[in-house]
Chains A and B, each alone.
Chain A
Amino acid sequence: MVKVEFTDGKVEEMSPAPVKDILRKLNLKESTTLVTRDGELLTHDIYVYDGQSIKIINVVSGG
């Protein structure tokens, strides 16, 4: 499984898939998120393999 961490500290487990599909399954938009693996930015075509961890960063700020 892929470990998915969010900015607010929440963690989810997902099936291995390209970044784009992981975001779609989580109902997140490409235009409002960035995804990193080991601190490196990932483009949406990159495949995330079983046992890997990614971070999803919400880039939208309000106020």
Chain B
Amino acid sequence: MKCVKCKGDAVINIRRANAAFCKEHFNEYFTEQTLKAIKHFRMFRKTDKIMVCVSGGKDSLVLWHVLHKLGCDVTGMYIDLGINGYSDRSKDKVNSFAERFGLKTIIVDLREKGHPIPFVARKAKREDCAVCGTIKRYYFNKTAYDGGFDVVATGHNLDDEASRLLANIMHWDDEYMNNTYPVLPAGGKMLKKKVKPLVRLTERETAAFAILNGIDYVMEECPMSKGATSLVFKDALSTIEENMPGSEIFFYTKFLERVKDIDRSKTDSDEMKICQTCGMESFMDKCTFCRLVEKVK
């Protein structure tokens, strides 16, 4: 198979684009797709201070790498979830990556803070992934606010977003559906703008980018995510894509066109309260995070 740009030997074929690329032109394609998303959705300006949420997985490390290469002011923010073995290995990947490229990192250690995910989930008698979501969201918001960042970027890719959209359609969940968007505006005085620059790229493409560019990522799945329903929706979409290449991006981008004018600003700052425990903005007197961790004290 030959590269569609230079006719050299291809290293990857992308059926949905009816294309194949050599390493050099795949990197060019990957960067172009990322830039296209950043510009089209007006995600950030080059001078913005960006916090990238990194997990040690392929998507977040690749996003960090691409934004750094584009010359953005970017800092990686890693949360050690306190999952024995897995968290240590993923943190090692983040630290090695940051050291190799001389990147700024912020690490939040949930074991040090006294609320590692398995412990909180067990004590609160709640699903691991639900607890993880609440705690991670809190620290993403708090760290971005405390650090004076303009934007929070995550490595969500086309497969993540399209499968999430499919799941929300299955439940006809209008509110969640409307928030399946690559940019969520800042809210109140503390919530920062959130962006997903990899939404035009599949996870096969981010994995290929990582391998081709020597980005060492944690390949194992989080042991607590076994049986995650998101995998069922991803499997259904990949079956459709396998038989009808291009269906997934068509499904997702057509949806985005339909909802592009919806106002996603969460609330006016007047409606927000201040959490009596931690001082972050909240819809209630005490925020969801503080209510959760109080249960396990």
Chain B 175-214 near chain A by CB (<8 Å), digits 1 or 0: 0000000000000000000000000001110111001100
Chain B 49-70 near chain A by CB (<8 Å), digits 1 or 0: 0000000011100000000000
28 pairs across A/B with beta carbons < 8 Å?
A7-B219, A7-B220, A30-B15, A31-B204, A31-B241, A31-B242, A31-B245, A32-B204, A34-B12, A34-B211, A36-B211, A39-B211, A40-B11, A41-B212, A43-B1, A43-B10, A43-B11, A44-B1, A44-B13, A57-B207, A60-B159, A60-B234, A60-B235, A60-B238, A61-B57, A61-B221, A62-B231, A63-B225
Q: How far is the CB of B131 from chain A (nearest CB, A)?
A: 12
Asked if A45 is at the interface (CB within 8 A of a chain B CB), the reply is: yes
Q: How far is the CB of B4 from chain A (nearest CB, A)?
A: 12
B12 & A57 in contact (Cβ 8 Å cutoff): no
A residues sitting closer than 8 Å to B (CB atoms) are: 7, 29-34, 36, 39-46, 57, 59-63
Q: Is the interface of B mostly helix, strand, loop or mixed?
A: helix
B203 & A61 in contact (Cβ 8 Å cutoff): yes
Contacts of B207 in A (CB 8 A): 34, 57, 59
A41 & B129 in contact (Cβ 8 Å cutoff): no
The answer for the CA separation of A46 and B242 in the assembled complex, in Å, is: 19
B238 & A32 in contact (Cβ 8 Å cutoff): yes
Asked if B20 is at the interface (CB within 8 A of a chain A CB), the reply is: yes
B residues sitting closer than 8 Å to A (CB atoms) are: 1, 10-13, 15, 20, 57-59, 129, 132, 159, 202-204, 206-208, 211-212, 219-222, 224-225, 228, 230-231, 234-235, 238-239, 241-242, 245
Nearest CB in chain B to that of A55: its residue: B211
Contacts of B239 in A (CB 8 A): 29
The answer for the CA separation of A29 and B243 in the assembled complex, in Å, is: 10
B231 & A60 in contact (Cβ 8 Å cutoff): yes
A60 & B203 in contact (Cβ 8 Å cutoff): yes
The answer for the CA separation of A40 and B225 in the assembled complex, in Å, is: 30
Contacts of B10 in A (CB 8 A): 43
Q: How far is the CB of A32 from chain B (nearest CB, A)?
A: 5
Which of A36, A43, A60 contacts B20, CB < 8 Å?
A43
The answer for the CA separation of A39 and B210 in the assembled complex, in Å, is: 12
Question: Which one of A34, A40, A45 has the greatest number of beta carbons of chain B within 10 Å?
Answer: A34
Q: How far is the CB of A26 from chain B (nearest CB, A)?
A: 14
B20 & A63 in contact (Cβ 8 Å cutoff): no
Contacts of A32 in B (CB 8 A): 204, 238
Given contacts A59-B204, A60-B203, A63-B230, contact A29 B13 (CB under 8 A): no
